[in-house]
Amino acid sequence: MSRRTKASKRITPPDSVYNSRLISMLIRRVMSRGKHSVASHIVYKALDTIGERTGNPPLEVFDRAIRNATPLVEVKARRVGGATYQVPMEVRTDRGVALALRWLVQYSRSRAGRSMVTKLANELMDAANETGQTIRKREETHKMAEANKAFAHYRY
């Protein structure tokens, strides 16, 4: 990586159905081995399932799930004088959304169930209702930052 210039941030194009950048980012996280059509099929079917089960617009449920799963603080390892401290840092919004999407896909994959469509739909609905593994991960991250608040003065 060049030390001279900052790498430019690539803007993700919105998806074709909902015209949402977040949905497009979720599709890219679900995708494996470059199979974009399979991943988009999984995400759109999961959103349809959410719409049928909740009766609410699926995009609203999805946005609420992302908002609930986004962490506000995290800990980063910082070496000071031979000792490594877990220093709490505020999370930038783009990193917070990326972490939320990553956790949603990770925990939906690890759920028990038949198809990825139902597992993703269930994890999204749980995150929207403030339950589930993704929310537990966010709470765990916040607790870790709270416990290490004494080392906040080592912030870069």
- 16-55 pLDDT, tens digit per residue, is 999 999 999 999 999 999 999 999 999 999 999 999 999 9
- Domains recognised in the chain with CATH numbers: 19-152 (1.10.455.10)
- Please check the confidence at residue 1 and state whether its pLDDT lies above 70: no
| Helices (H), ranges, 3-130 | 21-30, 36-54, 58-69, 93-109, 116-128
- One-letter amino acid of 66: I
- Please check the confidence at residue 156 and state whether its pLDDT lies above 70: no
- 51-107 pLDDT, tens digit per residue, is 999 999 999 999 999 999 999 999 988 888 888 888 889 999 999 999 999 999 999
111, 75, 67, 140: CA torsion to nearest 10: 50
Backbone angles phi, psi at 139, to 5 degrees: -65, -40
CA–CA distance, 38 with 54 (Å, rounded to integer)? 24
Show the CA angle centred on residue 70, arms to residues 85 and 34, nearest 5°. 100
pTM for the model stands at 0.90
CA–CA distance, 78 with 33 (Å, rounded to integer)? 35
CA–CA distance, 99 with 3 (Å, rounded to integer)? 26
